[in-house]
């Protein structure tokens, strides 16, 4: 399943937007049971708050190894990749 992050905006930056995106992604992937490709084409900024609510929460609820195995990131800039990776790593550390 391809998830176009730009569907949530070219600048994704609030916790509220992240919670909406998380719920939508959860629904569209049948509870994250499908492999997910997160396409960041058209997204210029990913803020920590959004990344925490989507990617950090996925790690918190599903585990880091599951998220790594079931996701792929496409078209993401270096800076935005760092933001997403840090959100995931924070939750990974919190789980241990």
What is the arithmetic mean of pLDDT over 51-67? Answer: 96
CA of 26: how far to CAs of 77, 85, 89, in Å?
Answer: 24, 20, 20
Mean pLDDT (whole number) for 1-19: 97
Exposure b/e, 51-70, CB count within 10 A at least 16 = b? bbbbbbbbbbebebeebeee
% residues pLDDT > 90 (the chain) = 97
pLDDT band per the 50, 70, 90 thresholds, residue 46: very high
Confidence at residue 95, expressed as pLDDT on a 0 to 100 scale: 74
Full-model pTM: 0.95
Average pLDDT over residues 68-89: 97
């Amino acid at each position: 399943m391809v998830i176009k992050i730009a569907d949530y905006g070219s600048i994704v930056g609030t916790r509220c937007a992240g919670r909406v995106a998380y719920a939508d992604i959860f629904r569209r992937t049948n509870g994250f049971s499908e492999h997910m490709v997160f396409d960041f084409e058209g997204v210029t900024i990913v803020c920590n708050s959004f990344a925490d609510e989507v990617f950090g929460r996925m790690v918190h609820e599903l585990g880091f190894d599951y998220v790594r195995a079931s996701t792929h990131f496409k078209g993401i800039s270096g800076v935005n990749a760092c933001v997403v990776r840090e959100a995931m790593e924070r939750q990974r550390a919190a789980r241990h």
